[in-house]
Structure 1
Amino acid sequence: MTQKLVPEAKAALSKFKNEVANELGVPFKEYNGNLSSRQCGSVGGEMVKRMVSEYEHSIK
């Protein structure tokens, strides 16, 4: 079992995921088994894209 480095981050990431899903028009809910891989992947991909962009701006 893996140990979370920052347990408080779970709520923040969940909020971020829901914000991105809303912006992309992906209907995230408690159960997301009815969503396609493409829909879920677009949310995850956009999250990573934004996190990388934020990091790049912070190191400039």
Structure 2
Amino acid sequence: MSRNNRTLIPQARHGLDKFKVEVASELGINDYESIDKGNLTSRENGSVGGEMVKRMIADYESKL
């Protein structure tokens, strides 16, 4: 299975990275931007991405 992690709007990359660090911090994963993600469990890494998606969907739905 091939994954494509490119950002559709390149100008949004900085905002997404900042959002990722904020979510990780709220989940108790400190220094997320500077740690080796390979040292985190799949659950920890997945929790960050999952929470990001959950919040983006909630934000979108609140604007409908």
| Band the TM-score falls in, shorter-chain normalisation | 0.7 to 0.9
Shift of 1:4: 4.5
Aligned to 2:14: 11
TM-score normalized by structure 1? 0.85
Distance 1:39 1:7, change over 3 A: same
Alpha-carbon distance in structure 2 between the residues aligned to 1:47 and 1:5: 16
Q: Which runs of 5+ in 2 are unaligned?
A: 1-5
TM-score normalized by structure 2? 0.80
Aligned Cα RMSD in Å? 2.1
Amino acid at match of 1:45: G
Alpha-carbon distance in structure 2 between the residues aligned to 1:17 and 1:8: 15
Report the count of equivalent residues: 59
Moved over 3 A (4+): none
Identify the structure with bigger relative contact order (alpha carbons < 8 Å, sequence gap 6+): 1
Q: Which runs of 5+ in 1 are unaligned?
A: none
| Identity of matched residues, % | 54
